[in-house]
Amino acid sequence: MAKSVQGKVVLITGAARGIGAETARVLVRRGARVSLVGMEPDRLRDLADELNGGGTAPQPKAAWFEADVTDQEQIEAAVRGTVEALGGIDVVMANAGVANNGTVAVNPPDALVRTVDVNLNGVIRTVSAALPHVEERKGYVLVVASLAAFTVLPGMAAYCASKAGAEAFANVLRLEVAHKGVRVGSAHPSWIDTDLVRDVEKDLGAFREARSKLPGPLGGTTSVEECAERFADGIAGRKRRIYVPRSLAWFQALRTIVISPMSDVLLKHEAKTMVPRMEEEVRALGRSFGATTVAAGGHEQVVAERAAAKRATTSA
């Protein structure tokens, strides 16, 4: 089993910021070359320049491609560009993700569907596009799921559904490609100090307060640097599961308890006050995604227009 990423080419989606960007930095420091895929060309360009040492490297350590993971043509173009620029793909890290704000009752369906589209369908599209190249090199697929794949919290319905789906996709894919020498892993980070998490904390005080009451790693925050090191270790070792922090493995093993009637009793008690407060905050906020969530695409405008039309119809 390989324990090094030296000379490997790793394609990373959601690479403009957060876990994706920091993992790219760690991998390049360890000798890998990276393909940075995302929706923020300026940030991608700057990161690629940083990793390439301002153009002083004898061969490129990083290439970048603007693509929305929900657009098959765009993600396939990014894969083709990666192969042309870096010679192939050893690892694909399907990392791009978004989180909508608040509950099903106050979120327009388009916002909920967009969350699932990016977090689950984006994984499927990314892996499908890159898989032939990964198979060529008997490489590794890392699907970035979440702690949310095996736990629940009010306000995270679409997010939890999408991450549980991503985990299941990885589990089945693992069986489909094992005979080809390809390994598949899923990553399960808890709360990582990224723009996505900071946005939710800033926007929704009720959510922030509820999270602070969760025990141990379920409520704690891990630095993005520590998370990236763990991801890089997992990629090097072609791990089946990556937990950040490691103690989440215990919660995964107890997942039937986490979603049991006993757990429901505790969460429902908290939800009686948390949910109405959160829903009021979302209504006042006037948007369904965090301020830095570029992957929401044009959906925020669509969501706002449809919500306004619905309000006008209701009041007529």
pLDDT tens digits, residue range 216-241? 777 788 999 999 999 999 999 999 99
One DSSP character per residue, the chain reads -----TT-EEEEESTTSHHHHHHHHHHHHTT-EEEEEES-HHHHHHHHHHHTGGGTSSS-SEEEEE--TT-HHHHHHHHHHHHHHHS--SEEEE-----B-S-TTTS-HHHHHHHHIIIIIHHHHHHHHHHHHHHHTT-EEEEE--GGGS---TT-HHHHHHHHHHHHHHHHHHHHHGGGT-EEEEEEE-EESSHHHHHHHHH-HHHHHHHHTS-GGGT-EE-HHHHHHHHHHHHHHT-SEEEESTTHHHHHHTHHHHTSHHHHHHHHHHHHHHHHHHHHHHHHH--SB-TT-GGGTTHHHHHHHHHHHHHHHHH-
Flag whether pLDDT at 285 surpasses 70.
yes
Q: How many CA atoms lie within 13 A of 70 on its CB side?
A: 17
Return the pLDDT at 297: 56
Residue 57 — very low, low, confident or very high, per pLDDT cuts 50/70/90? low
Residue 258 — very low, low, confident or very high, per pLDDT cuts 50/70/90? low
Flag whether pLDDT at 263 surpasses 70.
no
Return the pLDDT at 255: 62
- Angle 275-194-41 (CA atoms, 0-180°, nearest 5)? 120
Lowest mean pLDDT among 99-113, 137-151, 209-223: 209-223
Q: Are 207 and 200 in contact (CB under 8 A)?
A: yes
Return the pLDDT at 56: 62
Give 164's strand partners: none
Token code pair at residue 268: 């429902």
Q: Count other Cβ atoms within 10 Å, centred on residue 148.
A: 22
Mean pLDDT of the chain: 88
Token code pair at residue 221: 């925050």
Give domain 9-311's CATH architecture.
3-Layer(aba) Sandwich (3.40)
Return the pLDDT at 1: 43
Q: Name which of 124, 197, 128 is nearest 159 in CA terms.
A: 197
How far apart CA 302 and CA 125 sit, in angstroms, is 23
| Dihedral sign, Cα of residue 215, residue 219, residue 224, residue 230 | positive
How far apart CA 146 and CA 217 sit, in angstroms, is 13
Please give the C-alpha separations between residue 187 and each of 146, 160, 268, in angstroms, as whole numbers: 6, 14, 28
How far apart CA 21 and CA 137 sit, in angstroms, is 24
Which has more confidence, 117 or 307? 117
Burial (CB < 10 A; 0-12, 13-18, 19+), residue 226, is: middle
- Give the rounded distance of the alpha carbon of 132 from its chain centre: 22
Q: Name which of 14, 13, 32, 28 is nearest 137 in CA terms.
A: 32
Across 299-305, average pLDDT: 48
